[in-house]
Amino acid sequence: ACFTWVAHHVIPPPGGRAGMVSVTAPLLAHRPAEDALLGDVGGTWAERAATLFSRLARACELEAVAIPGYWKGAGNIAAGESIAAHNHCWAAVKVAGRWRLLDPGAAALAGGGLEEWPDAPFFTPPDAWGYAYHPLQAHWQLLPEALSLEAWWSLPRLSVGFFARGMTLLAPRDLAAAYTLPAPREGAPLPTLEVAVGCPLVEGGSLRHILRDADTGVELACWPPRANSPRQLRDAPPGAPPALAAAVAAAKALQGVGLGPGAAAFQQVELPVPQAFGREASSSGNGLGHVGAAGPGVIRFGSAVHRPIPHRLACTLPGPGRYDLEVQYVTDIPGGMPVRLEGLQRPLVLRLTEEAEVLRATVIVPDVEPHSPEDGVLHEDTTPLTPLPATHPGFVAAKASLLSPSPTTALEADREYVFSLVVPGASRVAVTAPDGSAVAELRPVSSGGAGAGGDDAQQGSGSRGGSRPGSRPGSGAARPTSASSASAQLRCMPPPRPPSGGKPGSADGGAAATGADAMFTGMVRAPRVPYVQVVGYSAIPELSVCGWLPLLTFAVAHQSQHIVDAAVPLDLPHVEMSDPNAVPAAELFRQMDIDGDGKVRRAEALVAFRRNRQVADALRLPHKVAMHDGTLEQFLEGYLAIDATKLGGFTFDELCAAMGITPAEEEEEEEGSEYDDEDEEGASYYTSSRPVSP
């Protein structure tokens, strides 16, 4: 009762959470009532709210105390940063012999603080409380082992509402307040961020994750995509700070041509729940443990029991820098807001939602490291973006799940991939090209691993035979079909025949797979098209549709066929161009190195040969090259003899090695050692061969 009274009668300070440190903001609407309850007690707004609750509780003969400390939810602390002085105050009350932690000030900001309000619950477990609150006195953590302030700042920012909703981090060791990813390599794709979160499936509730630039706050990616996504971002205004201009450019790249038909954010519900889910979630590795673990896959918060379902959240990162990942819990307001317009028989119902931040962390991408010869041949000298699958409403409404390929896998044309999806309620799943033609149809897999459709079904022929028992998913199935035979297969494919009275794709239709039978798999060769689309034949009441529905869109990139220069260490003597022995070679190299980058490429050598025939003659190469007279083959053979790396460009050291030129210092040392040997061995030779005088 005291907690509820404070939450309903205390006035939120101006500025919201940031104003809780104000010492002048009034606590109650009636100033004389505040003076009567608090007397001469001063302090910040949060300190006075906690003191007011503790006094009311003590008046009800309960032990209560105000606890000063640090709070990550103040609103003015970026993820991964820390402050020197404490910024908040909350309370503890002893009930039934146990101390309970609660925050009257946060409850007042939340609009009531009742038990059903998840962002400011009544009686929060200490292991959930410890992610957002850290008292000045360690014993008020109420934990078996106290957490240091430094370790607390390194934890990701999880709100109390995160745990009150039954959520959990499935891999907590992989996320911190400031998480640094491995440095990207030159020529390799930029890294992506993946977070595994357990969240119960509640009607009207969903997760949204947003990627922002940490310096400017510009939104770079969001799932689900907003109506005003970064595709409509305008260029930065003239005179804007460089950081803002760079962030806007990154946002436009993520939502524009940089990803093509792909997406910058991806999210899916992963069903069924893995057996090891409860064990993975039972320990966080940060000293706080797991909140209310009550068995495999079960979370207990107070009197509520939740069964979180794994959710995979992924984002494409635009390049080196600092980024903020924010996860929100979105709740639909029942009924929405009806809007009546003239000419419409029924009113339009606008969707109204409430968003609450439940997780925030900073992600750091280091600078790009140069290519290492140990990584193989460098095919691209850039670091391309990694496009994620673009999700369609049918994928979300069906609560489908992509098992393979991984959402972070960039598809390349002419390569084969195993496609495996769980699509509840679908009877058929296929992969199509942009023109709607069938690339391959995936084979349904039963719970025992045997497919329900035969090889013919995988090729999109429409027949549905039985497969061999015990065949592994994707074996000998889902082969690509030719363009002539599959030009309009999916458009002309009839839906599966349901039993009498049944509807295609419905629960009574007999063709739709449910539960463990909703898995489809097959081997797919990516065609040479900009993208492929995964479609499923199902009925979704939420979308009021029944038929072939788009589920996912994958961008398809061309395979890298060309080779660019890579630094390969060579065991060649280093010769300076000023070396006396290298004067002729230096003059030749200067004439051939037209752009002055220290390497002579084939085009530069040919231009130098045309300008000065003596350069070609010195290297014993033809000064003119033609296709029909063998001079091209002669030029390539001689050029590759100089190019020791065989990557299309040779350095001055390679030229000297090909011409047999060594540094003058090495020659002097070698000659000196030979003379020394001659002096030692030759003395006895000449002495023994010289006539001996009688």
Q: Could you tell me which of 171, 516, 162 has the C-alpha nearest to residue 313? A: 171
d(CA 3, CA 296): 34
Highest mean pLDDT among 222-231, 239-248, 318-327, 668-677: 318-327
On the question of pLDDT at 370 being above 80, the answer is: yes
Please tell me whether residue 522 adopts helix, strand or coil conformation.
strand
Q: Give the C-alpha distances (Å, rounded to integers) separating 196 from 286, 301, 552.
A: 17, 20, 20
On the question of pLDDT at 107 being above 90, the answer is: no
Tell me whether the omega of the peptide bond preceding residue 182 falls within 30 degrees of 0, making it cis. Answer: no
pTM of structure: 0.64
User: Is pLDDT larger for residue 307 or for residue 456?
Assistant: 307
For residue 451, give the DSSP letter: B
Strands 519-525 and 531-540: unpaired
pLDDT tens string 215-265:
888 888 888 876 544 444 445 555 556 665 666 566 655 555 445 566 888
Residue type, 320: P
299-303: which pairs have CB atoms within 8 A and are 24 or more residues apart?
Answer: 299/163, 299/166, 299/167, 299/168, 299/198, 301/121, 301/125, 301/128, 301/163, 301/164, 301/166, 302/115, 302/121, 302/123, 302/125, 302/164
Does an H or E element contain 655, and which?
helix 652-659
Q: Token match 């070679």: residue?
A: 585
Q: Token match 């006094």: residue?
A: 55
Q: Could you tell me which of 434, 508, 445, 507 has the C-alpha nearest to residue 471? A: 445
pLDDT tens string 154-180:
888 888 888 888 888 887 666 777 888
pLDDT tens string 535-586:
998 766 655 667 788 999 998 887 654 444 455 567 788 888 888 888 989 9
Question: How confident is the model at residue 410, as a pLDDT?
Answer: 85
Q: pLDDT grade, residue 596 (50/70/90)?
A: confident
Does an H or E element contain 439, and which?
strand 438-445
**Stretch 420-440: mean pLDDT, rounded?**
90
Question: How confident is the model at residue 589, as a pLDDT?
Answer: 93
Q: pLDDT grade, residue 491 (50/70/90)?
A: very low
d(CA 139, CA 69): 12
Q: Could you tell me which of 10, 209, 210 has the C-alpha nearest to residue 110? A: 10
User: What's the longest Cα–Cα distance across the chain?
Assistant: 141
On the question of pLDDT at 494 being above 50, the answer is: no
d(CA 646, CA 487): 44
d(CA 64, CA 42): 18
Q: Give the C-alpha distances (Å, rounded to integers) separating 590 from 574, 655, 666.
A: 17, 12, 24
Q: pLDDT grade, residue 492 (50/70/90)?
A: very low
Question: How confident is the model at residue 414, as a pLDDT?
Answer: 87
Q: pLDDT grade, residue 104 (50/70/90)?
A: confident
Question: How confident is the model at residue 545, as a pLDDT?
Answer: 60
d(CA 547, CA 432): 15
Asked whether the CA dihedral 150, 153, 159, 162 is positive or negative, the reply is: negative
Question: How confident is the model at residue 552, as a pLDDT?
Answer: 92
Q: What is the CATH number of domain 580-665?
A: 1.10.238
CA 506 to chain centre: 36
> Domains of the chain: which residue ranges?
2-153, 156-375, 389-498+506-567, 580-665
User: Is pLDDT larger for residue 649 or for residue 479?
Assistant: 649
Report the mean per-residue pLDDT for the chain: 74
Q: What is the DSSP string of 464-493?
A: --PPPTTPPTTTT--PPPPTTTSTTHHHHP
Q: Is 302 exposed, middle or buried (0-12, 13-18, 19+ CB in 10 A)?
A: middle
